[in-house]
Amino acid sequence: MDSITSYIDKLIELGEWAQWVAGAVAALLTLVLARFLMRKVVLDFVKKTKFEWDDRLYAPVTKRLYAFIIIAATQLTMTWVKGEYDSFVLSADPFFQASYILLSTSFLSVSLMVMVPVIMERFSDPTSVTVSGSNSLIVFLARAVVWFGGMYLALSELGIELFGVLASLAVFSLIIGFAMQQSLGNIVNSFMLALDQPFEVGDRIEVEGKVGAVVSVGILSTKILTHEENLVVIPNNSLVNSTVINHARGGGDGVGRRISLVQDIGVGYDEDVAHVKYTILKLMRECPHILEKPDPRVLLIELADFSKIFRMYGWVEDYSDEFVARDWLLMNVDEKFKMEGIDIPYPTSVEIVGESEKYANPRHKKTSVRMARLQMVKEDKKLSKERAAAKEDIEFITERLKSPDLNKKDKKMLEDDLRELNSILSMFEAGGED
């Protein structure tokens, strides 16, 4: 103990600069020790735990700890060098106190950002209905309250009354608000878009008839790039008040970029329904861009004035391949219909010819019709069984999701299965709407 005292006395004798250097060296050593403990002890412990929240807290807590060490070392060195009652030390003390308050506020704010979603998920009822973005809104409000309180205390340490500052700015803010009403509305709505997150950069969305990929989301507007390479700038006010269709989020099985391909085609009234359905169905199964699961379907949806309307319904793995898949299908349908003798009518005056003149091989068509009818009977039976099984599975999973004892992993698996079943069932019911 005496040796430490004598060492300190020697430092004091060296002068003020030597004391500052000694304080800086002590602060550096403390930082090195803190870094060692955080990386070798705390980080190893964090990696061993199965929780995610401690992984997310490690980096911000570490940064704030280093900032606290630097500020505290500066204050202690200044007090040691200048003396506890020095006028400069006393005048600087409120700034240090305000810094400690802001650091504590920042730490509490980050903790709320990480922990509130975890707590909400832990105590939420799996059968209750939740609103997308609600957790983000709760986190924002909680952090706003914490920061308001922290700023109030920090400014109070500096002798500044926060409410007085806000009152003095109220009239000025009112004038600015009227002048920038539209711009402020866009800024506020950009914040609301960030909370709700209806889309992300790269998603293909449809807004008021405009379809394109989102290239940027700014504070005033959102920009999308159409298929024609036109940049469409949509004010955030208009975007919030419009119906947005996100083609990148609609896929089942958790596959965001999957998209349904729907294409209608008409044939003459003389054509056999089973023959047409089976011919189209074979082509859809042969298409390299159409997924095998869920199975593609062909439905008769309308008896129009000049034709029977059939709807092709399948899934494309990536919505960027939608037009390529549609091109492949239409081109091959045209060729296959010619080979099978299936007529695509059009509302014009045409010359009625005999069967032998209309088709190069009428016997081949009769054979194809008989084979198609037999195959479609099998397909219809398979379709009915799959539809009934899908409904039963949906009812079972729906009831299972109501269980309060369901863990997070099993719930996620059941929800994925439910999305897949709903997408399959939607194909069975797709003939009634575009």
pLDDT at 167: 58
Counting residues of the chain whose pLDDT is more than 90, the rounded percentage is 5
Q: Where are the domains of the chain?
A: 2-123+132-170, 198-246, 259-432
Measured in whole angstroms, the distance separating CA 302 from the mean position of its chain's CA atoms is 38
> 291 — phi, psi (to 5°)?
-70, 145
DSSP for 280-303 reads: HHHHHHH-TTB-SSSPPEEEEEEE
CATH 1.10.3720.10 matches 198-246: no
Distance CA 98, CA 103 (A): 9
pTM of this prediction exceeds 0.85:
no
Helix (H, G, I), strand (E, B) or coil at 342: coil
Lookup result for tokens 């016997």: 363
**Residue 183 pLDDT > 70, yes or no?**
no
The distance between the two most distant Cα atoms of the chain, rounded to a whole number of Å, is: 122
Give me the torsion for CA of 333, 339, 345, 348, rounded to 10°: 120
**Residue 119 pLDDT > 50, yes or no?**
yes
More confident residue, 413 or 129: 413
Sign of CA dihedral 31, 36, 41, 45: positive
Name the band, by pLDDT with cuts 50, 70 and 90, for residue 309.
very high
Helix (H, G, I), strand (E, B) or coil at 213: strand
Name the band, by pLDDT with cuts 50, 70 and 90, for residue 228.
confident
Cβ contact 316:204 at 8 Å:
no
pLDDT at 311: 92
Average pLDDT over residues 361-378: 69
Averaged pLDDT of the chain? 75
Pick the CATH number of 259-432 from 3.40.50.720, 1.10.1060.10, 3.90.1180.10, 3.30.70.100: 3.30.70.100
**Residue 357 pLDDT > 50, yes or no?**
no
- Asked if the domains at 198-246 and 259-432 fall in one CATH topology, the answer is no
**Residue 432 pLDDT > 60, yes or no?**
no
pLDDT at 107: 87
